[in-house]
Amino acid sequence: MIKLRLKRFGKKFEVSYRIVAMNSDTRRDGRPLEEIGFYNPRTDELRVNVPAAQKRLQQGAQPTKTVRRLLEKANVYEQVAPEAAPTA
């Protein structure tokens, strides 16, 4: 199963994350199928490639709770077909 999740990078105590699509059994910092966005929790910077995120969601990728919240913040679900939008 493909999941949308965070991949950690950056220095110690200066962490940043990439939002990536990868297989669910791949390790956290393993090789992703596709990089979809970037999130910096220290500055609250969020960049999302909306067409790529929509494509992965329509293909059935499951976002983690944190990534789902970030995608909602970026208004990705408002632009996705209703059947792919989260129900909870």
pLDDT in tens, 21-46: 999 888 888 888 999 999 999 999 99
Distance CA 4, CA 61 (A): 6
Beta bridge partners of 19: 6, 37
- Per-residue pLDDT of 12-21, as tens digits, reads 999 999 999 9
> Count of domains in the chain?
1
**Per-state percent for the chain, helix, strand, coil, to nearest 5:** 25, 40, 35
Identify the domain containing residue 43 by its residue range.
2-84
- Residue 12 belongs to domain with CATH number: 3.30.1320.10
**Start-to-end CA span in the chain (Å):** 20
CA distances 25 to 3, 32, 51, Å, are 9, 11, 25
- Per-residue pLDDT of 49-80, as tens digits, reads 999 999 999 999 999 999 999 999 988 888 76
